[in-house]
Structure 1
Amino acid sequence: MIKIRDFAEIAQVATSTLRYYDEIGLFKPVYVDPDTGYRFYAIEQLLRLNRILALKDLGLELGQIVQLLDEEVSIEALQGMLRLKQARLQQHIQDEQEQLVRIEARLRYIAQEGHRLAREVVLKEVKPLTVIAGYTHVAGFLPNRQYANALLAMLKQNAICPAGPVLYIYHEGTSETIDFNVEVAVPVEPGSVNLAKLSPDWNRRVVLRELPAVSIMASLIHHGNPHGSVEAYQALGVWIQTNGYTVTGPCRKLSLRWSGELDDYLTEIQYPIEMKR
């Protein structure tokens, strides 16, 4: 038998938790010394305690935990519930980290009033591009990158070489519930792709089209975490407005370097513009 203090250390719980579980009848020691009141546990009890703690981490009430233990929930079911909770927590952590990066970018923009980035705006002419493209309704960085990676993998399987970096083109949403239709486009050499030869799944999901030429494209390079690109977007928007231009088409975002550490990513943000009339 193991003293409560040692058992708590092994189980990585507080002794007060073990005492409370004993008091409510959820997890009782195998022996209580009648003279001293000291509680003693058996190492075999770790399995039940871990089940209790796992169910508690799932957000269940103690009454629900007792019911599930009485029903002898299977290990497979418990593992499934924990994996689902794990995925939700990971997504929550990821969302919080992305929000922190966006806050930092907004703070930098406020402190600099957009002046530093505004000086880096470049005007250039963009030639027409042949692209193979698919569409999503998710504007987030990670889902779109995952879609782009799947598209690039499909091209590689079909021996199709990209002719440039992946573009993300943000078209206006088609309904009140959809903010953007995101076009994920990979430039290819004209005549190098025959959609009929692709698998039926991809054949239905992608199109082959030509992006039109743009006579004046306002461009700005963002070096850093893509979640912090708000700073670059706002500086570019302010520059366009203050220099007498107007936006004439959807924004294009080019993934010049989207691998390695997020802080070392290179993203080019482009807006087609013309002088205000």
Structure 2
Amino acid sequence: MISIGKMSVAAQTSVKTLRYYDRIGLLKPAAVDRDSKYRYYTADQIGTMNLINRCKRFGFSLQETAQYLQADSQQRNELLARQHQIVEERIIEMETALRDMETVQERLIHKEENAFMQDYTVTAVNLAKQEIFGCRTMMGVGDFGEAFGHLFEEMNRKNIRPAGCNGARYYDAEFDHDRSDIEVFVPVAAGCGNGFIGGCLVAKTLHKGGYSSLNEGYAALVKWIEENGYEAAGAPFEIYTRTGYDRIPPAEWETEIFFPVRKKD
């Protein structure tokens, strides 16, 4: 049997953490001394602890790590595949952040005004009405991939083909990154959809780059609407015209952002 101290050295994990894992049931010691309450582990549990540390390095939560330990090979592969996608998305976000920082640094060196902000051109246009096939639910921004997956599965079942670029519409008056009333949609041919976008006056702009800085495009639109005598007249939406699926880096992605508006009285 291995004492908790030796287990700490073997697994490069603090005794405090091992006690916590015992308390939550993630890794319980093989034996506990009745008098001293000292914990002891088997040699096989070193391997389990290494697996826990690896799950931690992969970004699994403790709950997900517990699921992984109890899963069979197929279930473990599914958990890893999902986490692989999450890690890839985080890498893209961090690479985009690094490029943004480099751009800001360059602008600061040249003493440009508004070094932290992308330049946005905002225009008011009458947007033609477009039929869409959409799915509206409460979700977080991180759930978009899964939501679009369900949407395309439903379209395939109904033999509906896309007729334009994917988009998303935000219905809540206040934005919550983790849980909002959001509709993901795809433009479709007339008679094939379950909703519409457009058919009204909109303020629009083009955001260039990754999605982590989309808020700057929305900020530019809201500012323009307020300064030019308009007011919001519907749920804003965005259309992803150039994305990673085009095999281009995030710096070249393009997203059109639209706010339905009307002139103030």
Q: Give 2:164's aligned residue.
A: 164
The counterpart of 1:210, out of the listed 189, 192, 196, is 196
Instruction: Report the secondary structure of 1:169's partner residue.
Output: strand
Q: Give 2:128's aligned residue.
A: 127
Q: What do the CA deviations read for 1:180-217 (whole angstroms, capped 9, x no partner)? A: 311112222222x3xxxxxxxxxxxxx71334511x21
- What does 1:15-30 correspond to in 2, within 5 Å? 20-21=9-10
Q: What do the CA deviations read for 1:221-270 (whole angstroms, capped 9, x no partner)? A: 11211122122111222122122221111101111123233333211000
Distance 1:186 1:267 in 2: 14
1:229 and 1:212, CA in 2 relative to 1: closer, same or farther beyond 3 A? closer
1:251 and 1:115, CA in 2 relative to 1: closer, same or farther beyond 3 A? same
Structure 1-normalised TM-score? 0.56
Contact 2:140 2:177 in 1 (8 A): no
**2:119 matched to 1:117?**
yes
Distance 2:80 2:181 in 1: 30
- What does 1:30-45 correspond to in 2, within 5 Å? none
1:87 and 1:156, CA in 2 relative to 1: closer, same or farther beyond 3 A? closer
Q: Give 1:263's aligned residue.
A: 251
Q: Give 1:228's aligned residue.
A: 213
One-letter code of the match for 2:194?
L
Distance 1:21 1:146 in 2: 39
Instruction: Report the secondary structure of 2:234's partner residue.
Output: coil
**2:41 matched to 1:53?**
no
1:50 and 1:242, CA in 2 relative to 1: closer, same or farther beyond 3 A? same
Structure 1 gaps of 5+ residues are 1-16, 23-45, 60-74, 194-206
Distance 2:91 2:148 in 1: 23
Q: Give 1:26's aligned residue.
A: none
How many percent identity over aligned positions? 18
**2:233 matched to 1:244?**
no
Q: Give 2:184's aligned residue.
A: 184
Structure 1 residue 153: deviation in Å?
Answer: 4.5
Instruction: Report the secondary structure of 1:123's partner residue.
Output: strand
1:247 and 1:99, CA in 2 relative to 1: closer, same or farther beyond 3 A? farther
Contact 2:163 2:186 in 1 (8 A): yes
Distance 1:150 1:180 in 2: 18
Contact 2:139 2:180 in 1 (8 A): yes
Structure 2 gaps of 5+ residues are 1-5, 12-42, 57-68
Contact 2:204 2:259 in 1 (8 A): yes
Q: Which has the larger radius of gyration?
A: 1
Distance 1:19 1:137 in 2: 43
Structure 2-normalised TM-score? 0.58
1:161 and 1:219, CA in 2 relative to 1: closer, same or farther beyond 3 A? same
Distance 1:82 1:209 in 2: 38
Q: Give 2:39's aligned residue.
A: none
One-letter code of the match for 1:160?
I
1:273 and 1:96, CA in 2 relative to 1: closer, same or farther beyond 3 A? same
Distance 1:125 1:213 in 2: 7
Instruction: Report the secondary structure of 1:229's partner residue.
Output: helix
Distance 1:238 1:173 in 2: 16
